[in-house]
Structure 1
């Protein structure tokens, strides 16, 4: 196995610390770790790949560092908007870029199953995405919930943004056919719970995933980064890594 040199952005966060443990566990090494206020740019050239779990506002600079160094970058930062996805697409013209709302191998497979179910079950089957995370999580719905909702929307050939229902409160009226609902729970130290419910006429199908420790995300990100090393420039997903 070839040892990969990792540059970790967001090093002092929970995921940054988990990444360091997962990198060592996989037999790789860290070349540098930076956090808020740090600049990976001058040091990125010493690394084989960058892994970014920092903040949306730092994404532009981090993608720029990967481009200048000519190395791949894996992005697990949550709370990304349309502007950030434009930046990702632009960077992918120059270097390999893999971005995901969740690096769990189980969640990646779950999204594949959600896509399969949504494609085969008709519009009389309503889709609801339920997620729960620890009390410190700042964005909602989670990136993973959106990833699962997007999988369902793509399978049904609809736009998620215009068919998404979240934060129901008060007299909302009847559920609009074809929409994808989201419910968010926060509390305790929950690493991540996600369920996609397909509610049909007199029957219900639920696909669920439970994260018992954030190390599963770190291991998945490390595996993805090692796989991405040596790939040509382009936009990649966890599905690509698993061959789904």
Structure 2
């Protein structure tokens, strides 16, 4: 399938009965330039066979399905906020059908990321651990801060999410670490510290520390602490609603309209390079 610019972009949503799925479907239904063309969910979901907007008291004509080909065959683009294994299965069918993809799934291993990159040789993919416009502007600010505070400052990343989140640290926290490490000329895999317990000795100034909080219904809080002698600088982003991820995802869909293939992130979408 080749994308042809038109007044409406046809979008399929993975995880259609989940919290993000519902928010994406509602946003697509109210966007003038988007149309819901498919809704995917797990075979055991109670939503299978129902209209995708039934929960809104509306009729879309799109039935929630676990059949990937049926759910994707009319789509220009898939938006996927599920889990790595499911996302990879979805992308394989996207590649087969020529459907582009916006991926907000987190928790990918390095090998899984390589699989996504390989698929991007044939289809256009925006993949980012956080689709929020504000978070990605924060990443740019962190890049600038790290370059200016390259010596004499210890760096710690603290993140908090709801009790249902299954991966830690969050994809956003890891992305913050990657951006900072790159700005400092370091390899995050070599300098990251994810656990501290017992007699740890003095802090290695070349490390980047991570702390994780899980509880309640916290949507997503991230703070990066640059702690120096006599001062500390804190860069914080707090999400109060998943709506920001939804609007960022739609911006990513629109960005992909001009790209037939390739792997992109939200810095590309927002022109922050």
Regarding TM over 0.5, the answer is yes
Partner of 1:34: 40
String of CA shifts for 1:95-123, please: whole Å, max 9, x gaps: 11111100000000000110111112123
Given that 1:107 and 1:209 are in contact with CA atoms closer than 8 Å, whether structure 2 keeps it comes out as: yes
Q: For structure 1, which segment, 101-110 or 9-18, has the greater mean C-alpha deviation from structure 2 after superposition? A: 9-18
Partner of 1:185: 213
The answer on 1:24 being equivalent to 2:52 is no
Partner of 1:194: 222
Partner of 2:7: 2
CA distance in 1, matches of 2:170, 2:207: 18
The answer on 1:237 being equivalent to 2:265 is yes
Partner of 1:169: 197
CA distance in 2, matches of 1:159, 1:12: 38
Given that 2:255 and 2:269 are in contact with CA atoms closer than 8 Å, whether structure 1 keeps it comes out as: yes
SS at match of 1:185: strand
Structure 1: unaligned runs, 5 residues or longer: none
Given that 1:41 and 1:62 are in contact with CA atoms closer than 8 Å, whether structure 2 keeps it comes out as: no
**Structure 1 outlier segments of 4+, above 3 Å:** none
Given that 2:161 and 2:215 are in contact with CA atoms closer than 8 Å, whether structure 1 keeps it comes out as: yes
Higher relative contact order (CA 8 A, sep 6+): 1
**CA apart distance, 1:230:** 3.4
Given that 1:5 and 1:31 are in contact with CA atoms closer than 8 Å, whether structure 2 keeps it comes out as: yes
The answer on 1:118 being equivalent to 2:118 is no
What's the C-alpha RMSD, in Å, of the aligned pairs?
A: 1.3
CA distance in 2, matches of 1:205, 1:24: 42
Given that 2:146 and 2:184 are in contact with CA atoms closer than 8 Å, whether structure 1 keeps it comes out as: yes
The answer on 1:156 being equivalent to 2:184 is yes
Give the TM-score normalised by structure 2.
Answer: 0.86
**CA apart distance, 1:60:** 2.5
Given that 2:40 and 2:71 are in contact with CA atoms closer than 8 Å, whether structure 1 keeps it comes out as: no
Given that 1:44 and 1:66 are in contact with CA atoms closer than 8 Å, whether structure 2 keeps it comes out as: yes
Question: Which structure would you say has the larger Rg?
Answer: 2
CA distance in 2, matches of 1:83, 1:13: 27
1:62-211 equivalence runs, <5 A: 62-211=90-239
CA distance in 2, matches of 1:211, 1:135: 15
Structure 2: unaligned runs, 5 residues or longer: 1-5, 44-65
**CA apart distance, 1:52:** 1.2
String of CA shifts for 1:4-63, please: whole Å, max 9, x gaps: 111111111111111112212322221111112323234423011011111111232211
> What is the number of residues matched between the two proteins?
244
